[in-house]
A and B are shown apart, each in its own frame.
Chain A
Amino acid sequence: MITTTHPHNARCLDLFKKLSEYIDQELDAATCRQIEQHVKNCPPCQACLETLKTTAGLCHRIEEAPVPTGLSDRLKKMINELTV
């Protein structure tokens, strides 16, 4: 992988704080445009945005474990006792 020193400046740092809000569509249109314009010309910030987006997306797709049979049985017993 090609690497380099990130020539980050105040602009990068300011937008870096807002990347999650950008991913979640919680920013106004003008700020979104600023971010889009900035990352087009700043590969390190673009890499940061893409890795953050993928991280959030992966979390959303983690599969659920099944409920252990013992727990289901305990809950049923508890509910029977509560509702009689």
Chain B
Amino acid sequence: MPTSPRKSSTKNNSNDTELVQAIQSGRIDLYQELVSRYERKLYNFGLRMCRNASDAEDLVQDTFLNVFKYLKGFRHEAKFKNWLYKIAASACIKKRRRLKYAPDQTLSLEDFLPGDEAEVAREIPRWTTIPLDQLLNEELAEVLSDTIHTLPEKYRIVAILRDVEGFSTAETAKILDITPANVKVRLHRARLFLRDKLKNYFEHDHNYPST
């Protein structure tokens, strides 16, 4: 069986619950603390989703404004963090629709299958054998971030929530109001898309870190 890459967030959630309940019961002076807790995470979510810093800043501001507006009605049925991201994700999707971007491209699984005539590696590529912390230098981080930006939005948002932010399949499905099966399909295609770009980068452009 593969090993789990996920960390528990139970402690953060219980801290959030106490803080949110205090604000709901009238301690609105504590709202700044809630904002400080999540402004960096949300700003980075915005940067990855929106492609530019100014839109990411607007996303953070709009999200915290909406959270303040609707916090009284939050019933703690989901974790606060998941509710926060649901508001932020919805703001992202609405903004994109307002800007009338071209419709999202669909990634087909067949595009990523090795063809009968294709030449594929019989060896494990060297880049997968290097510890991740050594492999992920500044240049690769930039390549990866740029590549995430080129994913069509419906795949990008799933890849960000699952692989960057660390939400589970079930949590991501609830945040985006889609089925868990749909999350799995989009995530697999997003990973295959990113994997192909990284493969290309390592095969053509890259000097490996010294090990």
A residues with a Cβ closer than 8 A to B are: 1-6, 8, 13, 16-17, 19-26, 29, 32, 43-44, 46-48, 50-68, 70-72, 74-76, 78-79, 82-83
Contacts and interface: CB of A to CB of B under 8 A. Distances in A.
A65 B39 contact: no
Given A5-B119, A21-B184, A62-B145, A55 B195 contact: yes
Interface in B55-88: 57, 60-61, 64-65, 68
B173 interface: no
A25 B121 contact: no
Contact of A20 (B53, B116, B164, B188): B188
Nearest to A20: B188
A72 B133 CA distance: 30
Given A65-B43, A75-B61, A59 B164 contact: yes
Interface string B14-53: 0000000000000011011001000111011001000001
Given A65-B43, A65-B44, A6 B120 contact: yes
A23 B188 CA distance: 10
Interface of B: 1-2, 4-5, 28-29, 31-32, 35, 39-41, 43-44, 47, 53, 57, 60-61, 64-65, 68, 109, 113-114, 116-125, 127-128, 132-133, 135-136, 140-141, 144-145, 148, 159, 163-164, 166, 169, 184, 187-188, 191-192, 194-195, 198-199, 203
Contact of A82 (B31, B109, B123, B145): B31
A62 B12 CA distance: 21
Given A66-B40, A76-B32, A83-B28, A56 B191 contact: yes
Contacts of A26: 169, 184
A50 B191 CA distance: 12
Given A25-B1, A59-B164, A59-B194, A44 B114 contact: yes
A37 B97 CA distance: 46
Contacts of A21: 184, 188
Nearest to B159: A59
A6 B114 contact: yes
A71 B39 contact: yes
6 A-B pairs with the lowest CB-CB distances in the bound complex, closest first: A59-B163, A20-B188, A50-B128, A3-B119, A55-B195, A6-B120
